[in-house]
Amino acid sequence: MSSYVIEGGRRLLGECEVQGAKNSALPILAATLLCDGKCSVHNCPDILDVGATCDILRHLGCTAERNGHTVSVDSQGASGFEIPEPLMREMRSSVIFLGAILARNGRVRLSTPGGCEIGLRPIDLHLDAMKKMGAKISEEYGHIECSAHDGLHGTNITLSFPSVGATENIMIAGSTAKGITTVVNAAREPEISDLADFLNCCGARISGAGQGTLTIEGVKKLSGCEHTVIPDRIAAATYMAAAAATGGHVRIDNIIPAHLGPVIDLFEEAGCRITTDCKSVTVAAPKLLGSVKMIRTMPYPGFPTDIHSPIAAMLTKAKGTSVIIETIFENRFKYTGELVRFGAKLRVDGRMAVIEGVPVLHGARVITPDLRGGAALMIAGLAAEGETVITDIKHIERGYESPEKTISGLSGLMRRIDNDGSE
**Catalytic residue (choose from 35, 39, 62, 116):** 116
Q: Does 169 bind ligand EPU (CB under 6 A)?
A: no
DSSP class of residue 268?
H
Binding residues among 363-382 for ligand EPU as defined by CB under 6 A: 371-372
- Return the number of the residue (238 or 406) whose C-beta is nearest ligand EPU: 238
Among the listed ranges 1-9, 18-26, 238-246, 307-315, the one in contact with ligand EPU (CB under 6 A) is: 18-26
Q: Does 306 bind ligand EPU (CB under 6 A)?
A: yes
Q: Does 329 bind ligand EPU (CB under 6 A)?
A: yes
End-to-end CA distance of the chain: 13
- Return the number of the residue (266 or 272) whose C-beta is nearest ligand EPU: 266
Q: Does 328 bind ligand EPU (CB under 6 A)?
A: yes
| Candidate residues 116, 295, 324, 377; the one interacting with ligand EPU per rule CB under 6 A | 116
**Polymer length of the chain:** 423
Q: Does 23 bind ligand EPU (CB under 6 A)?
A: yes
Q: How many CB atoms lie within 10 A of CB 40?
A: 17
- For 255, the 3-state DSSP assignment is coil
- Please spell the DSSP secondary structure of 124-193, one letter per residue: HHHHHHHHHTT-EEEEETTEEEEE-TT--B--EEE-SS--HHHHHHHHHHHHTSBSEEEEET----HHHH
- The Cα 80–Cα 310 span in angstroms is 39
Q: Decide: 315 and 383 in contact? Cβ < 8 Å.
A: no
- Return the number of the residue (282 or 305) whose C-beta is nearest ligand EPU: 305
Bridge partners of residue 294, in order along the sequence: 323
- Return the number of the residue (164 or 410) whose C-beta is nearest ligand EPU: 164
> Which residue minimizes CB distance to ligand EPU?
165
- Return the number of the residue (118 or 361) whose C-beta is nearest ligand EPU: 118
CB of 167 to ligand EPU, least distance (A): 8
CB of 260 to ligand EPU, least distance (A): 14
**CA 403, 66, 234, 348 torsion: positive or negative?**
negative
What's the Cα-to-Cα distance from 340 to each of 109, 312, 391, rounded to whole Å?
Answer: 42, 12, 16
- The Cα 164–Cα 137 span in angstroms is 21
| Candidate residues 15, 36, 65, 124; the one interacting with ligand EPU per rule CB under 6 A | 124
Among the listed ranges 113-121, 202-210, 273-281, 361-369, the one in contact with ligand EPU (CB under 6 A) is: 113-121
Buried b vs exposed e over 8-37: b needs ≥16 C-beta within 10 Å? bbbbbeeebebbbbbbbbbbbbbbbbbbee
Interface size with ligand EPU, residues (CB under 6 A) = 28
What's the Cα-to-Cα distance from 52 to each of 93, 126, 397, rounded to whole Å?
Answer: 10, 21, 12
CB of 294 to ligand EPU, least distance (A): 19
Q: Does 10 bind ligand EPU (CB under 6 A)?
A: no
CB of 347 to ligand EPU, least distance (A): 23
- The Cα 162–Cα 140 span in angstroms is 27
CB of 290 to ligand EPU, least distance (A): 27
Identify whether 116 is a catalytic site residue. yes
Binding residues among 65-94 for ligand EPU as defined by CB under 6 A: 92-93
| Candidate residues 29, 166, 199, 353; the one interacting with ligand EPU per rule CB under 6 A | 166
- The Cα 301–Cα 283 span in angstroms is 21
- The Cα 380–Cα 386 span in angstroms is 11
- For 407, the 3-state DSSP assignment is helix
- Return the number of the residue (33 or 361) whose C-beta is nearest ligand EPU: 33
Among the listed ranges 103-111, 112-120, 240-248, 405-413, the one in contact with ligand EPU (CB under 6 A) is: 112-120
Amino acid at 97: F
Among the listed ranges 78-86, 121-129, 169-177, 255-263, the one in contact with ligand EPU (CB under 6 A) is: 121-129
Q: Does 52 bind ligand EPU (CB under 6 A)?
A: no
| Candidate residues 69, 126, 259, 308; the one interacting with ligand EPU per rule CB under 6 A | 126
SS3 content of the chain, % helix, strand, coil (to 5): 35, 30, 35
| Candidate residues 121, 131, 334, 362; the one interacting with ligand EPU per rule CB under 6 A | 121
- Return the number of the residue (93 or 282) whose C-beta is nearest ligand EPU: 93
**Residues taking part in catalysis:** 116
Query: Contact residues for ligand EPU (CB under 6 A)?
Result: 22-23, 26, 92-93, 116, 119-126, 161, 163-166, 187, 234, 305-306, 328-329, 371-372, 399
